[in-house]
């Protein structure tokens, strides 16, 4: 058989992608963030490819990932149809070449009749319908699949009530810690690969059309809370990765062998506590662990459905509810203190893994905040029952 070369041996580096907002992410280059509230910033401007990616295009890497990981471990999870979306954009590129090469209307008409499925680059109605509709559906399914799988994994790691005792009895006969750590890493590979695929295909769309529709679609994803790297479940999964504290979790697993997803790290000693996710040596994202209300390290953190993190006491205060009532008891018209989004308290997520991480990393601070919160809860409870007693007596 012929010895054909599957991938080119030499590849020129593509220009860096443009900056765009990523809620909940702080720039790792040291520049000031784009928004002073809630640790909002921008994606790194230059994303150098990993070592193995210098010899392979991302499309080939992504297809290899699907064959090695997706069908084996995440068969029921959706993924970005990167190859099919590239074919849609290829039609647009062919249509643009017809328009540029055509010197008169006859040549353009002849080119359109030869290929009826070529996209009209002036309007791109066919491309927009096929491209953005499909990509929005895939992003929604990926976000839903990722959140459900992470919830199930974290529910097993931090059980409550009767399940806690069942889990302890189970640990006497079998140790699932390593399996849980491997599943967590597979989920991290899953979300990072699909996030990179979405970013690259949107960048390619803007490059071919000379538009900003791809950048606008990113903003739409953030508004609809389907942005993968904005999900609070990603922060929870990173905290879970650190809480496992298993040396086997850092060993090569699956196709990547720690190439794309490197590790999570947490730094609480600096002026701004951050949680860092390293996808590669040159591609890092920093998540701020500072509450935008009290401007202190998060304690008993909750993530609203918009993606912003707050202390439980701060979130309850912003929603005008008592701490013992809980964040989800906020009225429907309550707004996020940062982005002013409405209806984000009812779907708030208790960040149990992140709270456990902060508790183990800084025990003195955690105990101090616990005493302060309990004191405030007792004070609020007394005020609440005093007001109820006065109402019952008609005072």
Domain residues of the chain, as ranges?
A: 19-101+115-288, 291-395
Structure tokens at 55: 């010899």
> What digits encode the pLDDT tens for the residues 343-389?
899 999 999 999 999 999 999 999 999 999 999 999 999 998 988 88
Radius of gyration of the chain (CA): 25
For residue 381, what pLDDT is reported?
92
pTM here is: 0.70
List the alpha helices (DSSP H) in the chain: 58-65, 71-73, 82-101, 105-114, 125-157, 162-171, 177-209, 213-223, 232-244, 312-318, 352-361, 363-392
Q: List, as own/partner pairs, every contact residues 248-257 make where C-beta atoms lie below 8 angstroms and the sequence separation is at least 24, other chains included.
A: 248/178, 248/181, 248/182, 249/178, 249/181, 249/182, 249/184, 249/185, 253/182, 253/185, 253/186, 254/68, 254/69, 254/73, 254/185, 254/186, 254/189, 255/64, 255/65, 255/68, 255/69, 256/65, 256/189
Of 214 and 304, which is predicted with more confidence?
304
| CB-CB contact of 131 with 85 (8 Å) | yes
pLDDT at 355: 93
pLDDT range class, residue 25, cuts 50, 70, 90: very low
pLDDT given at position 166: 63
pLDDT at 224: 81
Lowest mean pLDDT among 156-170, 231-245, 280-294, 325-339: 156-170
pLDDT tens across 203-237, in order? 888 888 888 888 888 888 887 878 888 889 999 99
> Is it the case that residue 330 has pLDDT exceeding 70?
yes
Quick one: what percent of the chain has pLDDT higher than 90? 26
Selected residue with higher pLDDT from 173 and 33: 173
Does the pLDDT of residue 95 top 90, yes or no?
A: no
Report yes or no: 184 and 241 within 8 Å, Cβ to Cβ.
yes
User: Of the ranges 12-26, 119-133, 212-226, 243-257, which is most confident?
Assistant: 212-226
Reported as a single tens digit per residue, the pLDDT across 157-200 is: 665 555 555 655 665 656 666 777 778 888 888 888 899 999 99
Pairing verdict, β 284-288 and 274-278:
antiparallel
pLDDT at 250 over 50: no
Q: What is the reported pLDDT for 279?
A: 78
Q: Please identify which residue in the block is written with the tokens 């508004």.
A: 223
Cβ-based neighbour number of residue 203 at 10 Å? 18
Better pLDDT: 334 or 90: 334
User: Which residues, at least 6 apart from 310, have a Cβ–Cβ distance to it below 8 Å?
Assistant: 291, 292, 293, 298, 301, 302, 304, 318, 337
Highest mean pLDDT among 92-106, 246-260, 369-383: 369-383
Is the model more confident about 280 or about 318? Answer: 318
6 by DSSP, 3-state: which? coil
pLDDT confidence of residue 79: 87
Q: What is the CATH number of domain 291-395?
A: 3.30.40.10
Helix axes 125-157 and 82-101, enclosed angle (nearest 10): 160
Determine the Cα–Cα distance for residues 101 and 108; give it in Å rounded to an integer: 8
């Amino acid at each position: 058989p012929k010895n054909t070369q599957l991938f080119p041996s030499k590849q020129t580096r593509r220009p860096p992608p443009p900056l765009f907002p990523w809620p909940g992410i702080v720039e790792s280059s040291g520049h000031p963030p784009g928004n002073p509230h809630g640790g909002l910033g921008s994606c790194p401007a230059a994303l150098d490819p990993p070592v193995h990616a210098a010899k392979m295009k991302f499309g080939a890497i992504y297809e290899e990932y699907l064959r090695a990981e997706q069908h084996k471990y995440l068969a029921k999870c959706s993924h970005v149809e990167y190859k099919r979306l590239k074919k849609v954009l290829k039609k647009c590129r062919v249509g643009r070449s017809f328009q540029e090469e055509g010197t008169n209307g006859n040549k353009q008409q002849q080119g359109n009749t030869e290929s009826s499925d070529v996209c009209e680059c002036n309007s791109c109605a066919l491309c927009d319908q096929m491209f953005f509709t499909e990509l929005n559906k895939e992003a929604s399914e990926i976000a839903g699949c990722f959140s459900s799988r992470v919830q199930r994994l974290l529910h097993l790691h931090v059980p409550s009530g009767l399940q806690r005792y069942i889990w302890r009895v189970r640990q006497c006969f079998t140790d699932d810690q390593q399996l849980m750590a491997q599943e967590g890493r597979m989920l991290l590979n899953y979300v990072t690969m699909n996030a990179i695929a979405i970013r690259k295909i949107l960048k390619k769309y803007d490059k071919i059309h000379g538009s900003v529709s791809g950048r606008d679609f990113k903003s739409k994803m953030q508004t609809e809370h389907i942005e993968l790297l904005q999900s609070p479940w990603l922060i929870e999964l990173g905290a879970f990765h650190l809480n496992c504290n298993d040396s086997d979790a850092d060993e090569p697993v699956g196709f990547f062998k720690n190439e794309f997803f490197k590790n999570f790290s947490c730094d609480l000693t600096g002026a701004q506590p951050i949680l860092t996710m390293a996808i590669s040596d040159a591609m890092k994202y920093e998540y701020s662990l500072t509450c935008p209300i009290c401007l202190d390290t998060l304690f008993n953190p909750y993530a609203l459905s918009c993606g912003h993190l707050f202390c439980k006491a701060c979130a309850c205060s912003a929603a005008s509810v008592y701490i013992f009532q809980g964040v989800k008891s906020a009225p429907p018209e309550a707004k996020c203190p940062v982005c002013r989004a409405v209806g984000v308290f009812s779907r708030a997520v208790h960040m149990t893994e992140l709270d456990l991480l902060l508790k183990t990393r800084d025990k003195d601070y955690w105990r101090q905040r616990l005493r302060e919160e309990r004191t405030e809860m007792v004070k609020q409870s007394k005020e609440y029952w005093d007001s109820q007693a006065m109402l019952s007596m008609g005072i």
